[in-house]
Amino acid sequence: MKASAINYLIDTGPLVGMLDHSDQWHAWSEKVLCTTEPVFCEACHHLGGLRPALQALLGMVNSGALVCHSVVNESGARLAVLLDKYPRMDLADATLIVLSEQYPRAKLITIDRRDFTVYRRKDGKPVPSIMPPVS
């Protein structure tokens, strides 16, 4: 996929918020999306027993509304560097940093202000992000 075609990357919180109407971030989370397989799996875990939400998530992938990139195989060395540099970072977040490096103009939709204001891409810049307002 061309870098110019990707406008938004999405983290777990907004992905869950989009599908779970009772989630506090539901209304805020409706955008065009691209994510990674670890984020997709993490969202499935958080949605747990909400079968309609899980089906909706799979439907988004099937319809092309959500594109899941596999970056683990192609970027394992970079992921290892990130996980070593940021001890609190999980694999899902690391894959989003790598995806942001591949699509530098894309904005990350996340509710994880604490971590994504700290993480940096290879070029030393923060990931361009869209976050809910601080309350």
Q: Which domains are present in the chain?
A: 3-130 (3.40.50.1010)
pTM of this structure = 0.78
Q: Tokens 């970027």 correspond to what residue?
A: 75
Please, how many CA atoms are within 13 Å of residue 82, restricted to the half-sphere of its CB?
Answer: 28
Indicate the burial class of 80 (C-beta count within 10 angstroms; 0-12, 13-18, 19 or more): exposed
Mean pLDDT of 116-135: 92
Q: Are 19 and 56 in contact (CB under 8 A)?
A: yes
Report the chain's mean pLDDT, rounded to a whole number: 85
Mean pLDDT of 113-133: 94
Query: In which band, very low, low, confident or very high, does the pLDDT at 89 lie, cut at 50, 70 and 90?
Result: very high
Residues near 80 by beta carbon (within 8 Å), at least 6 away in sequence = none
| Cα separation, 69 vs 99, whole angstroms | 8
Q: Look at residue 34 in the predicted model and tell me its pLDDT.
A: 87
Determine which of 38-52, 96-110, 114-128 has the lowest per-residue pLDDT on average: 38-52
User: Which of 20, 26, 22, 68 shows the shortest CA–CA distance to 45?
Assistant: 20
Q: Are 35 and 18 in contact (CB under 8 A)?
A: no
Q: Look at residue 24 in the predicted model and tell me its pLDDT.
A: 61
Q: Are 25 and 132 in contact (CB under 8 A)?
A: yes
